[in-house]
Amino acid sequence: MGLTRREFSRLGALGAMAGFVPDLRASAQGSERKVGYCVIGLGRIADHFMRGVKQGSTSQITGLVSGHRDKAERIAAQYGVPTSSIYSYEDMDRMRENKSIDAVYVALPNSMHAEYTIRSAKAGKHVLCEKPMCVSVSEAREMIAACKEANVKLMIAYRLHYEPTTLKAIKMIQDGLLGKIQAIDSANGFNIAPGEWRSTKKLGGGGPLMDVGIYSLNATRYLTGEEPEKFTAVASTIDRDGRFDTTEENTAWTMRFPSGVLASCNTTYGAAMPGYYKVFGSKGWLEVDSFGYQNLRLRANYTPEGKNSSATTLDETNPEPDPKQFERQADHFTQCILQNKTPKTPGEEGLRDMQHIQSIYRAAGISFD
């Protein structure tokens, strides 16, 4: 599933891819410094992350890795990165000697996550890797092992784990406001354009399940606090227009959790399918619209005290604009680095999703790993 540097360079010709925290290494005089991140891959998601870091106060962009030097130099000028801290994919291992780089942010196509996470760990840098973590269970385990061997931290970029609307929904469930949870319904998808790397097996590792379906999968896990134990799944390809020559177009699956909660999920690359999840409990329901970068809306209706009590309704939207989610995510990883703590979404979180994706694909009769 690996991709050569030359092949990735060809991809670039198609267009763009999609208060201070105290430094524990500061001097005795009490000086403070920001944790430095080197961004590997300068596509769409990297732009959100870099703007989030710049907007925050705990971190800074101190290095860039790209196959396009001119693009990297333009971005370096925007973020105050010296040209000496711009690397190509071939020579990025030199960042080992760059003391201004504490961590990397891996923002490459899915099939490249494992290679560049492992190389970064060997260079002594902590790793924040985009999701999906990689394209196989075996790669996920290799990434975790490499980071442990190098004594660096590995965090998977599940930004919604740090987002206030998501955290409120989880707390409402944990506090029992909905009663006993019975079922979850979720969907996420879009009509993908021709030529996108994400719809190829070689780069994306699979179809929409790997890309946007993982949001529904992960949501069912953080909403229940459980791991699914039984799966059913089907997949289909309706449009024979060349976009899905190596991957499926649609996937639908169900999961049963140990508590008995049933989850039903859909994902697609063939239609507009605004992301959401809806949780049904014995005392009411809640719904969060969007897995996006901003404007997450939480609606709920529940009767905590029983049938004779008046229902409580809720309808609110998080007004924080993009890139606040990326700022929160970077701040969390920075704090983990400085305080030597395990991230809330470590490599093991990504591994579990990869294991469940494997189970879904197998249930649908699709080869994985």
Q: Are 266 and 251 in contact (CB under 8 A)?
A: yes
State yes or no: is 293 an active-site residue.
no
Whole-number pLDDT of residue 319 = 97
Instruction: Flag whether pLDDT at 132 surpasses 60.
Output: yes
Whole-number pLDDT of residue 32 = 66
- The maximal CA–CA distance of the chain, rounded, in angstroms, is 69
Distance of CA 33 to the CA centre of its chain: 27
Going from the C-alpha of 119 to that of each of 104, 142, 155, 204, 228, the distances in angstroms are 11, 12, 15, 20, 32
Q: Are 21 and 58 in contact (CB under 8 A)?
A: yes
Whole-number pLDDT of residue 21 = 34
Q: What is the 3-state secondary structure (H, E, C) of 247-259?
A: CCCEEEEEEECCC
First-last CA distance in the chain: 9
Dihedral sign of CA atoms 80, 85, 59, 49 in order = positive
Q: pLDDT (tens digit, 9 = 90+) per residue, 181-237?
A: 999 999 999 999 999 999 999 999 999 999 999 999 999 999 999 999 999 999 999
Whole-number pLDDT of residue 17 = 35
Whole-number pLDDT of residue 310 = 86
Q: pLDDT (tens digit, 9 = 90+) per residue, 234-276?
A: 999 999 999 999 999 999 999 999 999 999 999 999 999 999 9
Going from the C-alpha of 94 to that of each of 99, 147, 181, the distances in angstroms are 11, 18, 51
pTM exceeds cut of 0.85: yes
Among residues 34, 125, 131, 168, the one annotated as catalytic is 131
Short-list 7, 34, 63, CA closest to 197: 7
State yes or no: is 215 an active-site residue.
yes
Instruction: Flag whether pLDDT at 322 surpasses 60.
Output: yes
How is residue 277 written in tokens? 């999840």
Ranges of CATH 3.40.50.720 domains, the chain? 5-159+326-346
At 368, is the pLDDT very low, low, confident or very high (cuts 50, 70, 90)?
Answer: confident
Q: Give the mean model confidence (pLDDT) for residues 88-95.
A: 97
Among residues 158, 215, 276, 293, the one annotated as catalytic is 215
At 33, is the pLDDT very low, low, confident or very high (cuts 50, 70, 90)?
Answer: confident
At 306, is the pLDDT very low, low, confident or very high (cuts 50, 70, 90)?
Answer: low
Taking domain 164-317, whether its CATH number is 3.30.360.10 is answered by yes
| b/e per residue 227-253 (b: at least 16 CB within 10 A) | ebeebebebeeeeeeebbeebbbbbbb
H/E segment holding residue 10: helix 5-12
The helix/strand/coil state of 189 is strand
Ranges of CATH 3.30.360.10 domains, the chain? 164-317
DSSP state, residue 303: -
Instruction: Flag whether pLDDT at 16 surpasses 50.
Output: no
Going from the C-alpha of 242 to that of each of 206, 239, 249, the distances in angstroms are 15, 8, 11
Distance of CA 168 to the CA centre of its chain: 19
Instruction: Flag whether pLDDT at 8 surpasses 80.
Output: no
Distance from C-alpha of 250 to C-alpha of 189, rounded to nearest angstrom: 9
Going from the C-alpha of 339 to that of each of 60, 101, 280, 304, 343, the distances in angstroms are 17, 17, 39, 40, 11
How is domain 5-159+326-346 classified at the CATH fold level? Rossmann fold (3.40.50)
Q: pLDDT (tens digit, 9 = 90+) per residue, 147-169?
A: 999 999 999 999 999 999 999 99
